[in-house]
Amino acid sequence: MESIEAKIAETSWSNVTEEMHSKGFALIPNFILENTCSELIENYNRPIYRKTVVMERYRFGLGEYKYFNYPLPSVIQTIREELYPKLAPIANLWMKVLNIEKQFPDSFDDLQSLCHNSGQLQPTPLILKYGKGGFNTLHQDLYGEVYFPIQAVLFLNQPEVDFTGGEFVLTQQTPRAQSKAIVLKPNKGDLLIFTTNFRPVKGSKGYYRVNMKHGVSEVQSGERHTLGVIFHDAIS
């Protein structure tokens, strides 16, 4: 996984930090190679998953996703271990300015220990698949008492080539105001880092919390795959 480690090392984390603080998301282009995207898609039907969810059954949308089982594929494990230490300082600053009495450990292993000590033993990384008409309703990925407020998603297909529609959507709910929608169309191989459920915004009387959700607009044609990297584990 030298290419991923090198990509993380060469990324301007000061820029990522600034974008996370100002917008609640940051995009790292060309994070993984095209062949890695293809391998992840090709593995969709292999028996390496612990759970399959048909989204329509739970009114989550229209599509399907699968949670990986431990041990995770090396590409996902590397991302979790190497990306988390870059994001923990951002999350800890958010906790501080919002006066939330919570701090996250420096290493991914220590975060995982917190999860396991709370009975959260199941891996949460997942691969999602949408066909024509597929979509994902607005949601937040919280799986237990211990959760890390930042997550990431890898885009495995090229928009306007492999599929049309299917934009990534973020909504921001500012207190006593209408919701704001943010629509993104990352390219194949890009990594999007974004808030799991909230971010701080500075107002005239200090920082306040705004809630954010994410989802996927309707796919008009083709097939769309993404890989979600969530850092905390789940109870089930």
Question: Could you state, in order of their start, the residue ranges of all structural domains in the chain?
Answer: 2-229
- pLDDT for 204 equals 87
* Inter-residue contact 227 to 154 (CB < 8 Å): yes
User: For residues 4 and 43, what is the distance between their CA atoms, to the nearest angstrom?
Assistant: 19
| Of 77, 82, 76, nearest in space to 106 by CA | 82
- pLDDT for 2 equals 57
User: For residues 202 and 207, what is the distance between their CA atoms, to the nearest angstrom?
Assistant: 4
SS percent in the chain: helix, strand, coil, step 5: 30, 35, 35
**Cβ neighbours of residue 104 closer than 8 Å, sequence gap 6 or more:** 88, 91, 92, 95, 111, 148
What φ, ψ does residue 96 adopt, rounded to 5°?
-65, -50
Class of domain 2-229: mainly beta
What is the pTM assigned to this prediction? 0.96
In three-state secondary structure terms, 101 is coil
71 prior amide bond cis, ω within 30:
yes
Residues of the chain with pLDDT under 50: none
In three-state secondary structure terms, 209 is strand
What size, in residues, is the chain? Answer: 236
| Of 91, 94, 86, nearest in space to 14 by CA | 86
Inter-CA distances, 147 with 86, 109, 114, Å = 16, 14, 10
In three-state secondary structure terms, 73 is coil
User: For residues 104 and 113, what is the distance between their CA atoms, to the nearest angstrom?
Assistant: 12
Output the six-digit token pair for 209.
């919390």
- pLDDT for 125 equals 98
